[in-house]
Chains A and B, each alone.
Chain A
Amino acid sequence: MSTLAMSASRGWIEILMFLRDRTAVIFTFFFPALLLLLFGTIFGSESTGSGVAVSRVFTASMIAYGILNTAFVTMGAGLAMDREDGTLKRLRGTPMPATAYLIGKALLVLALSVAEAAVLILLGVLVFDMPLPADAAHWLTFGWIFLLAVIACSMLGVAVSGLVKNARNAGAILNVPVVALQFVSGVFIHPMSQLPDWLENVASLFPVRWMAQGFRYVFLPDEAQAGEIGGTWQLGTVAMALGVWCVIGLVLCLVTFRWSGRDK
């Protein structure tokens, strides 16, 4: 059987397993949605300096958080779990190549990320009256930012999974960088200019800032770019930053990937 077909059957079982694990479904989809509803409701009536409702800014930025959840956390925790409970080892003892394993996981992550983005966008539209972009150019931009973000976050998740010593703690460990980056990358606190300069600079080294900024470009009116650092969307930098993180993630994956847990 071809690697492609093996990847497909791997992806299918991954998605099936995810859907049957209710805790994972609830945590992955409802938690970001809940945060969006809370933040959007609490600050919803306010407007940013450029006159855009804060709830809309949240909706756009929260897509970045959603992807961190579905790509980085799902990949990292899933891999740590597969490694600890012997799933990876058992699969290693079959003709299935490593690529089919990772593609299977990637299919899960992609499906979850698409669903997550859809849920958040739908909430934004239904609850906070966020208009969807009307032109193809914005959707095209959404497409490449979304893909680069999913790829970079997934690969970083794979890399970080190697640091997790006990799979039960994976979710907690992986959420430390996730939550910290939400606060400094303009997701929970926007505009970022409220942060000290050095923190702004540190946050700009990580992909989350660029993901959130890119999604704000897609879903906010053009005048909202005044709220960004430098006052423009900087789509070129978004592409470059996410592209670089994809490469860094790939290298880290290749260097750190292990089939089994540490020997006892």
Chain B
Amino acid sequence: MGGLMVGGDAAAVEVRDVVVRYGDTTAVGGVSLRLPRGRVLALLGHNGAGKTSLLQVCEGFRRPDGGQARVLGLDPVGDHDALMPRLGIMLQSGGVYPWATAGEILRLFASFAANPLDTDMLLDRLGLRKFERTRFRRLSGGEQQRLSLAVALVGRPELVFLDEPTAGMDTEARHTTWQLIEELRADGVSVLLTTHLLDEAERLADDVVIMRAGLVAATGTPAELTSAAGIDVLEVRADPGLDLTGLRAGRTVTETSAGEYAITGSLDTAGLAEVLAWFARVGADVTAVNTRRRTLEDVYLSLTTQTPVGAAQ
């Protein structure tokens, strides 16, 4: 990633070789990443992969034990006071007065901002209006999350850190939240979020960083990550029991069930043309063609469960 770091305006987030240790445990073992302004970066990984620890360094809640982080060009710890009015931080849980109502909490955090958003509008947007007078501890997990998000956004931040923003939300709330994040991006707000939901990363993120055991296992756009290997499998339905010898040059072909052929191997454009031409040549009647490519989930699972980290990078 070194080449990405030179030149240009200060990135929203620039993290270099960051190490976070808790006693003898290394939570983050030297991570570098860059979030340009106005983009959405998703940190993807299992629980304990080091996502939250890395986020805490960016938020200025802890000093890295190695490496450095710059946020909007500033030091998150040293420049805390200058940085905070420009950030919106959504923590995973806790830290809200349990006996305060949703409305009181949002208005309190609005009172800290120089030019806060209209709190009524935010309550409406996040479907919290009917809970305005409900005490925090009476809200459901998803409602607490939505309030937490509102609190992060109320100060019109340039950059927001969202730690598992849709955890505990129902489908509708999740979609509302996704829309909101997309609107933030459209308004030029930079977003760094952690998630272990692949559809969330795929839908929202411009860039995905997959973390595993405190290290970066892979990085790229969702499209890059999923299409790096091109088409994985070509499925063809044709006459059953064809002699496949002529098709096997450089490919693996199996008849998975009668008339169902699965072909893997060289499947670029020319390869696809060759395969279909072969079916035409042998006079087979092709009735269905289907291509499968790796999903982000395939990539994620292969990176986080089997492949050694070094090999994945």
Contacts and interface: CB of A to CB of B under 8 A. Distances in A.
Interface of A: 1, 5-6, 9-10, 13, 16-17, 20-21, 85-97, 100, 259-260, 263-264
A20 B96 contact: no
Interface in B87-129: 87, 89, 91, 93-97, 99-100, 104, 107-109, 111-114
A89 B61 CA distance: 8
A87 B96 contact: yes
Nearest to A264: B22
B112 A16 contact: no
Contacts of B97: 13, 17, 87
Contact of A96 (B23, B87, B112): B112
Contacts of B94: 85-87, 89-90
Contact of A90 (B62, B96, B107): B96
Contacts of A97: 81
Given A17-B100, A95-B155, A89 B108 contact: no
Contacts of A86: 91, 93-95
Contacts of A264: 22
A93 B89 contact: yes
Interface string B67-89: 00000000000000100110101
A87 B99 contact: no
Q: Chain B CB within 10 Å — which of A5, A10, A16 has the most?
A: A16
A13 B99 CA distance: 10
B112 A6 contact: yes
16 contacts: A9-B107, A10-B108, A13-B108, A16-B100, A17-B97, A20-B99, A21-B99, A88-B95, A89-B61, A90-B151, A93-B59, A93-B84, A93-B91, A94-B112, A95-B84, A96-B112
A92 to B, nearest CB: 7
B61 A260 contact: yes
Nearest to B161: A93
Contact of B61 (A9, A10, A93): A93
Nearest to B27: A263
Contacts of A85: 94-95
Nearest to B81: A97
Contacts of B107: 9
Contacts of A16: 99-100, 104
Nearest to B20: A263
A9 B111 contact: yes
Contacts of B111: 1, 5-6, 9
A92 B76 CA distance: 12
Contacts of B22: 263-264
Contacts of A93: 59, 61, 84, 87, 89, 91
A100 B84 CA distance: 14
A120 B165 CA distance: 49
A140 B85 CA distance: 43
Interface in B16-44: 22-23
Given A94-B84, A97-B81, A263-B22, A89 B113 contact: no
A94 B155 contact: yes
Interface in B118-165: 135, 151, 155
A96 B87 CA distance: 12
Given A16-B100, A91-B95, A93-B59, 7 more contacts: A13-B97, A13-B104, A86-B94, A90-B91, A93-B89, A94-B155, A95-B155
Contacts of B96: 87, 90
A95 B91 contact: no
Contacts of A100: 112
B100 A89 contact: no
Contact of B113 (A1, A92, A259): A1
A1 B85 CA distance: 11
Contacts of B155: 94-95
Nearest to B85: A95
A20 B95 CA distance: 17
Nearest to A22: B99
A260 B61 CA distance: 8
A13 B96 CA distance: 11
